[in-house]
Structure 1
Amino acid sequence: MSLYSAIEPRSSGFLEVSKLHKIYYEECGIKDGIPVIFLHGGPGGGFGERDRRYFDPEAYRIVLFDQRGAGKSTPAFCLEENDTWNLVADIEKLREHLGIEKWIVFGGSWGATLALVYAEKHIDRVLAMVLRGICTLRKEELRWFYQEGASYLFPDRWEEYVEPIPEEERGDIMTAYYKRFTGDNVEERLRCAKAWSKWEMSISQLRINPDTLSLCADDSFSLSLARIECHYFINEGFFDSPNYVLDNANIIHESRIPVTIIQGRYDVCCPAKTAWELYKKLPNAEFYLIEDAGHSAKEEGITKKLVEACDKYKTLVKA
């Protein structure tokens, strides 16, 4: 099953979620379809045209939005008033603004983290969940990707990633990058943002994709992704306990809502261990480990399974 054909938004706009922030959103598909919200990754990644295409536009009312500081939302790259709990509140404000009672929640990578936290906070508003490339922003996950672990598999790309950071600061690379992302040196900030983004984009797929890597050439994309990601990661997701997401997964399990978990076997950004631990907390969920895939939703096996999951829910789930 491939993606659905490209579609244009049926409506779009900006929603003021605070005196500082306005979030950009789109609606696609049919107005009276099953509501589904797409939560993009990063944080800071924004959504793209491809993200509309996992869903049958004849069956779904598709909602997509750029989280605070990302994509078309304003102000760009802003870290002020930008944390997990504000994003959860934004999702609820958008739901109320659009007059939706309940919706399917679809998210990958950081989008899966946000989807889980939203569901744990507002389970009565969730019809079903489709989750891909699971992460929960625990220290062990962040250390694997940004300090020691993935570096053993990609020493050539790791060398480029750490190059902007002096050797004496490499004992805590995230902190060193955050200092530069929030500093006054604009040129250094951009240089570091591109190095951070290139590291992530270059190892997100089982086989490197030049189109994915080319995203790093865009200054806005790199600044948004790197600054906002690092802001969230330094603060460990703004959670009040180190295992917050998994510790509260029982709320989802007890609700009996349908959940599909899709994970690449060779995901080095968000290793399969976390997805497996989530599955143990949600034993009634459908769990698919894609053998020939890494982290990206653009990989064929993952794309196919995401579309299949959404096709199944359009007949099983009623708003």
Structure 2
Amino acid sequence: MKLKRNNYCSNPKRFYIRVLLAIISVSLVFECSKRDNVINETLLWPEIEPFQTGYIKVSDMHEIYYELSGNPDGIPVFVIHGGPGGACSPKMRQFFNPQKYLIVLHDQRGCGKSMPNAELKDNNTQALVEDIERLRVKLGLDKIILFGGSWGSTLSLAYAENYPENIKAMVLRGIFLVTRAEEQYFYSTLSNHFPELVQQFIESFPDSTYGLNDSDIFKLFQYEDEEQRSLYMKQFNKIGAMASGIYVNENVIDTYNDSEANFRQIYTMQLVSFYYYANGCFLEEGQLLKNIGNIPDVPIFIVHGRYDMICPPLIAYKLHKSMPGSKLTIVEGAGHSMFEEPIAEELVLTMKELGVLE
């Protein structure tokens, strides 16, 4: 993978795609607070606990957390979480038949239980791709299923393009390819659907020297006044949360944001995500589609919400057209979150279908 190391902070043309990345990231934070209330538990498999947990030292600085659940001899499925800056959660285990699958979850560098938390050094897309490969090798697995949504779909595609020989199948949800089309879509969505939240965010800036651009927002998130810094992060998190689904309760968002216990998660998510989008996700424009031919002819399922306000369905359709043999399902009555009932139901059914194909 060719990495793009340039810093885009001075390039205003790239700003809104970086905002898109931030919204994708903060929407994942909100999912952690709402998932138990959104999903009808009968749609998912029963709760299970991991039979193995551990850490892998992937660099001089980073150790990533991983866990295994389900059937030790089952079909290996790697759950690639969103963000950048997100983390895996126990609920993610419940999308898979525990008798059929070996369920592998891990937290990406600087995220979740991985150490050190919120560390940006030696943290980039290529490193995350190599970490997936290190984990596969450590576990002694051959071919694996990749199950990734939002930023997780981005990282899944990046891994598959670099290690096509290791791919058994792919289940991709809420497709994000880091393209200008997504930038333009999100800018229109944000301005048309959440103008009052954006304006409120801007009006809270310390003075007129701050603008709606990545470098200034990053400064706001490192503001000396801790109370004010928290306010900026909570406001930005609220925008992402409101955009994450169709039926979103604003009071639930405010309650989540006001919890001190949740602030560290919000902080980590936004710090890591802003670092990534300030560097263009370490991907060239259009790189994933350009290299899509590297991915082998294996079962590929693409699931996308019809009313996804974060990642446009058009991008999912373009990915589908670029991958002959892939199956695209546009889910009616659904937005971006994997924990909305229509999306969750489709993902569970997809994994059942994959199990039958085996």
Q: Is the alpha carbon distance of 1:169 and 1:36 closer, same or farther for their aligned partners in structure 2, counting shifts above 3 Å? A: same
Deviation of 1:143 (Å): 5.7
Q: Is the alpha carbon distance of 1:52 and 1:233 closer, same or farther for their aligned partners in structure 2, counting shifts above 3 Å? A: same
Please tell me the residue identity of whatever aligns with 1:242.
Answer: E
- Among 279, 289, 293, the alignment partner of 1:246 is 289
- Equivalent residue of 2:213, what SS? helix
Residue matched to 1:225: 269
Residue matched to 2:329: 288
Q: Is the alpha carbon distance of 1:5 and 1:14 closer, same or farther for their aligned partners in structure 2, counting shifts above 3 Å? A: same
Contact 1:23 1:73 in 2 (8 A): yes
- Among 31, 34, 52, the alignment partner of 2:93 is 52
- Equivalent residue of 1:7, what SS? coil
Deviation of 1:272 (Å): 1.1
- Equivalent residue of 2:76, what SS? strand
Deviation of 1:160 (Å): 3.7
Contact 1:157 1:202 in 2 (8 A): no
Contact 1:193 1:227 in 2 (8 A): no
CA deviations over 1:277-312 (Å, ceiling 9, x no partner): 111111311101112011001111110110011111
Residue matched to 1:119: 160
Is there any run of 5+ residues in structure 1 with no aligned partner, and where?
Answer: none
Residue matched to 1:269: 310
Contact 2:303 2:328 in 1 (8 A): yes
Q: Which has the higher contact order (CA 8 A, sep 6+)?
A: 2
- Among 60, 68, 88, the alignment partner of 1:27 is 68
- Equivalent residue of 1:127, what SS? strand
Q: Are residues 1:162 and 2:206 paired? A: no
Residue matched to 1:312: 353
Q: Are residues 1:137 and 2:178 paired? A: yes
Contact 2:45 2:95 in 1 (8 A): yes
Normalising by the residue count of structure 2, what TM-score does the alignment of the two structures yield?
0.82
Contact 2:194 2:239 in 1 (8 A): no
Aligned length, in residue pairs: 312
Is there any run of 5+ residues in structure 2 with no aligned partner, and where?
Answer: 1-41
Q: Is the alpha carbon distance of 1:14 and 1:57 closer, same or farther for their aligned partners in structure 2, counting shifts above 3 Å? A: same
Q: Distance in 1 between matches of 2:61 and 2:269?
A: 19
Residue matched to 1:38: 79
Q: Is the alpha carbon distance of 1:234 and 1:31 closer, same or farther for their aligned partners in structure 2, counting shifts above 3 Å? A: same
- Equivalent residue of 1:63, what SS? strand
Normalising by the residue count of structure 1, what TM-score does the alignment of the two structures yield?
0.91
- Equivalent residue of 2:61, what SS? coil
Q: Is the alpha carbon distance of 1:94 and 1:152 closer, same or farther for their aligned partners in structure 2, counting shifts above 3 Å? A: same
CA RMSD of aligned residues (A): 2.0
